Amino acid sequence: MARYIVRRILLGLIVLLGVITITFTITRVIPSNPAAKWVGPRATPEQIKAAEEELGLNDPLPVQFFNYIKDLSKGDFGRSLRTHQPVKDELIAFVPPTLELVLLAFVLAVLIGIPLGIYSAKKKDKALDHISRLFSIGSVSLPTFWVALIFQLIFYRVLGIFPLGGRVSTETTIFYDLPNITGLLIFDSLITGNWAVLKDALWHIVLPCITIALYPIGLVARMTRSALLEVLNEDYITAAKSYGLPEKIVLWKYALKNTLGATATVLALSLGYTLVNTFLVETIFSWPGLGSYVATSVVTLDYPSIMGVTIFSTANYIVLNLIADIIIATDPRIRL
Amino acid sequence: MKKGFAGILALALAIMMLLSACGQGGQQDSSTGKQNGAKRIAYYAYGSEPYIDLDPSVEYSNGLIVLHNVYETLTRYDNKTEEVKPLLAESWEVDPEGKVWLFKIKENVKFHDGTDLNAEAVQKSIQRTIDMKMGAAFVWDSVEEINVKDDYTVEFKLSYPAPLDLIASGSYAAFIMSPNAVEQNSDWFNAGNAAGTGPYKIQKITKGEEVIFTKFDEYWGGWKDNQYTDIIIKKVAEGSARRQLLEKGDAQVATSFSVTDLKALRDNKSVVVSDHETWRNVIGFFNSEKAPLDNKDFRIALAYAFPYDETINEIKEGLAVQSYGLIPKGLIGYDESLFRYSLDMDKAQEHLDKSGVDTNGLKLEMTFTSGNEVYRNFAQLYKINLQKLGIELDIREMNWDNVWEKSKNPKPEDRQDMLVMNWWPDYASPLSWLQSLVLSEEEILFNLSYVNDPALDAKVAEIEQFIAVDKEKTHDLIVEVQKKIIEDAYFLHIYDDMSSWVTDVHFKGFEPNPAYEGVVFFYDTYFE
């Protein structure tokens, strides 16, 4: 097992290096003027020359690449061309809000999706199954931006029970000092015992969180249902049932375990995907996360930021994949 | 089992109710805009990031909406009287050549960090901006040296005449900061530190998201009871969200709405919608170095084929005015007697025939930054009109970098035929259009019609010389330049844009100033 994990980590590092090389090359080959971007929208030739010097853009590309890797190994992602800020600081500012939102959404997805899938499988072709399948298909196929707008309309405009967007109310930002330890506001306010902020943060996260959770809930429910149906037809389940074991134990202990591998893989990969693809939901709910950072970086060809986000999301995929594989590997039938 | 499922649902519902209940509780005891203890809060819902870089020497983007409330400039442009008014400078004088400027600095003004404003602070602030060579620092290009004459007098010596009173009123790069702040690098400012003389101090920032100000008690202008003490400028990217915030009375001021949202908001009695001219105009650039656009009559034919009225009335729904040449209303050189082309296909055909250009199989390429709905729509209409002349218009939407790269190709025939972009001035002066778009360039930058006319260059040089000292002569000269470029049809003068602002009925005193686009000078606003 340990050897397997080490091998996978090494492989992951090679993948990461490959992605860095490709992204670096592509972002530099695309016609753009990084020095002009650094200076501002109306850079004069004189300003551009000074900026090229400052940014080391006069060096040949391989030298620039080598310098980039060297800085990267020290944890320096370079500076954004647009904001002039270290990319590392920007990631530290923008990743936690998204992480908080997405993690909570995935907890929700597991808590709702798996039971939903189980009941659906158990009551196959009954009314509950149809309702739950309809819900799963709906939640996977409804465009999230549409759901987000409808939620705002109903819960803010009509009912007025949830806020329109943001992480906390404007009053809270003025009257309280927001705790910042991990950047995950809910967690931070919980451990510092800042109940007013916690209450406000929870109140704000409900709508965006549910919006994001809808897709994985549907995904998990459908995966669980189909995997479970397959398992339920296996001989050992029939055997267990014929021994007179309670249905609860057969279902939860023997059947469910065998479906977790597939669900874990799907969940882990879609978590990796969601982390950098919450742009629309974040925009609609004014959530200060990674989504809009990614979008602006790409649109403005801010390549230090693009590189930073790419490295972050690649590392995510690698780690999440590894976790999924380890979960699957806990199945004694799988040999490593 | 069924019970378990229902249980989860019930639990989820219960949590939602509880959260909404506690949320509402929080909502009731605090509402923006009204008095809240000692604080009176105004909330500006802004469509984008409130700032990109908080360093006043560097920022050349949205950040003016923040910086103009925290820092002040020597002068401020009044678009109503078309005059420069004193701000941190009490008065100023200039020698007849326009090359030596003396500014008398206001006394008894304090920076947020407690230091006093004096001539040295002014000299250091502007020198820092010039030395950093970032953002709009180029507006000070004419400055040769800045001297402290006495405690409250600064002298600027210029290498060529320039309207320094206007430059000092600039929307960017003209901020005066405390001598302690001058010593700091950009990272210090971007950590949320600031030390200006403005009415508000930065209290809190969230990167890319929001800026919160609180009033500076020792502001030299003093404070009244009904002014706003705390200001929030927050990014609310969705137009519909900004609209809902205003309708609910949560936000006090916002701009950039879709036509649909504006229609609904105009019917709403709790908000006020007002439309204002801006200094942002949309211009089409003809590649005058490439055949057949190097032919003046051909360009005139193209200018007559453009759907001006449809663009303004249908696409912009009346929220724009057709440009009179390059200079928008409120600046020297704006003149309604200038000729405006209008859609006239007969005249277009007439000039096309006169030009002798063979349109058989002629294809023209038009480029602009992708994602602009308005450009896309008028380009489509233009395409239909040009088809009637036998010309095919190839519309290319690209990333700005690619648009610009193509326009700077050393070979004119490899560049686009037409390019559309907007232009706005760096400071309240018509020079920006003339110097950037008309003056011939050795290295292509923004003169994207590639105008290269020594007579025009000489005129622009003359304008530079007279703008600070002789307004009337300057006006006449600018009108002459514009007459010539209109006659030669270097540009499509499409429209001067307008902006619509929506404010809460209780939020008074706000007047948008086109010299500072998007800025709400919160000190001038009050609750009523």
DSSP secondary structure string, A148-181?
HHHHIIIIIIIS--S-SSSSS-HHHHHHSPPP-S
- For B248, counting Cβ atoms within 10 Å of its Cβ (0-12 exposed, 13-18 middle, 19+ buried), the class is middle
- Does the domain at residues A90-303+314-329 carry the CATH identifier 3.90.180.10? no
B-proximal residues of A, 83-102, CB under 8 Å:
83-85, 90, 93-94
Residue A153 pLDDT exceeds 50: yes
**B3: confidence class by pLDDT, cuts 50, 70, 90:** very low
Residue A262 pLDDT exceeds 90: no
| Chain A residue nearest residue B9, CA to CA | A112
Residue B345 pLDDT exceeds 70: yes
Please tell me which of the candidates B36, B41, B138 has its beta carbon nearest to residue A47.
B138
Kindly state the percentage of chain B with pLDDT values over 90: 81
Residue B69 pLDDT exceeds 50: yes
Q: From CA B156, how far away is CA B147, in angstroms rounded?
A: 6
CB–CB contacts below 8 A, A to B: 172
Residue B209 pLDDT exceeds 90: no
| Chain A residue nearest residue B445, CA to CA | A44
Q: Does A226 touch chain B (CB under 8 A)?
A: no
Q: From CA B203, how far away is CA B307, in angstroms rounded?
A: 49
Host H or E run for residue B42: strand B39-46
- CATH number of B1-67+198-270+505-528, picked from 1.10.10.10, 3.40.50.170, 2.60.40.10, 3.40.190.10: 3.40.190.10
Residue A174's pLDDT is 77
Q: Which two tokens stand for residue B6?
A: 């229902």
Contact B207 A288 (CB under 8 A): yes
Mean pLDDT of B276-284: 95
Q: Which two tokens stand for residue A192?
A: 């510092």
Residue B137 pLDDT exceeds 90: yes
Strand ranges (DSSP E) for B417-475?
A: 418-423
**B23: confidence class by pLDDT, cuts 50, 70, 90:** very low
- Does the domain at residues B72-196 carry the CATH identifier 3.90.76.10? yes
3-state secondary structure of B70: helix
Prediction ipTM score: 0.79
Residue B511 pLDDT exceeds 90: yes
**A300: confidence class by pLDDT, cuts 50, 70, 90:** confident
Residue B402 pLDDT exceeds 90: no
Please tell me which of the candidates B136, B237, B244 has its beta carbon nearest to residue A283.
B237
Which residue in the block uniquely carries the two structure tokens 């490709």? Answer: A22
Q: From CA B464, how far away is CA B456, in angstroms rounded?
A: 12
Q: Using an 8 Å CB-CB cutoff, list chain B residues near A183.
A: none
Residue A181 pLDDT exceeds 90: no
Q: Using an 8 Å CB-CB cutoff, list chain A residues near B201.
A: none
Mean pLDDT of A177-182: 82
Residue B29 pLDDT exceeds 50: no
Residue A178's pLDDT is 81
CATH architecture of the domain with range B278-497: Roll (3.10)
Q: Are strands B100-105 and B271-286 parallel, antiparallel or unpaired?
A: unpaired
Residue B1's pLDDT is 40
Q: Which of B19-28, B94-103, B171-180 has the lowest mean pLDDT?
A: B19-28
Which candidate, B256, B258, B206, places its Cα nearest to that of B233? B206
Residue B295's pLDDT is 95
Start-end of CATH 1.10.3720.10 domains in chain A: 90-303+314-329
Q: From CA B472, how far away is CA B480, in angstroms rounded?
A: 13
Helices and strands (H and E) in chain A: how many: 16, 0
Mutate to test the interface with B, among A161, A178, A220, A296 (most CBs of B within 10 A): A161
**A118: confidence class by pLDDT, cuts 50, 70, 90:** confident
B-proximal residues of A, 298-317, CB under 8 Å:
299, 301
**B153: confidence class by pLDDT, cuts 50, 70, 90:** very high
Q: Which two tokens stand for residue A267?
A: 């969940």
**A182: confidence class by pLDDT, cuts 50, 70, 90:** confident
Q: From CA B464, how far away is CA B324, in angstroms rounded?
A: 21
Residue B276 pLDDT exceeds 90: yes
Mean pLDDT score across all residues of chain B: 91
3-state secondary structure of B228: coil
Residue A334's pLDDT is 63
Q: pTM for the full model?
A: 0.85
Residue B265 pLDDT exceeds 60: yes
| pLDDT tens-digit readout, B101-119 | 999 999 999 999 999 999 9
Q: Which of A243-257, B243-257, B361-375 has the lowest mean pLDDT?
A: A243-257
Mean pLDDT of B406-417: 93
Mean pLDDT of B44-60: 94
Residue B18 pLDDT exceeds 90: no
**B313: confidence class by pLDDT, cuts 50, 70, 90:** very high
Q: From CA B483, how far away is CA B453, in angstroms rounded?
A: 14
Residue B11's pLDDT is 54
| pLDDT tens-digit readout, B443-489 | 898 999 999 999 999 999 999 888 888 889 999 999 999 999 999 99
Residue B6 pLDDT exceeds 90: no
Q: From CA A95, how far away is CA A291, in angstroms rounded?
A: 9
User: What is the C-alpha R_g of chain A?
Assistant: 24
Q: Which two tokens stand for residue B152?
A: 């409250």
Residue B26 pLDDT exceeds 70: no
**B233: confidence class by pLDDT, cuts 50, 70, 90:** very high
Mutate to test the interface with A, among B5, B48, B423 (most CBs of A within 10 A): B5
Start-end of CATH 3.10.105.10 domains in chain B: 278-497
Mean pLDDT of A49-72: 90
Mean pLDDT of B40-63: 93
**B72 or A27: which leads in pLDDT:** B72
Residue B7's pLDDT is 54
Residue A78 pLDDT exceeds 60: yes
Residue B474's pLDDT is 94
Residue B227 pLDDT exceeds 80: yes
**B24: confidence class by pLDDT, cuts 50, 70, 90:** very low
Mean pLDDT score across all residues of chain A: 86
Residue B13's pLDDT is 53
Residue B62 near residue B48, CB atoms below 8 Å: yes
**A316: confidence class by pLDDT, cuts 50, 70, 90:** confident
Residue B343 near residue B494, CB atoms below 8 Å: no
Q: From CA A75, how far away is CA B333, in angstroms rounded?
A: 54
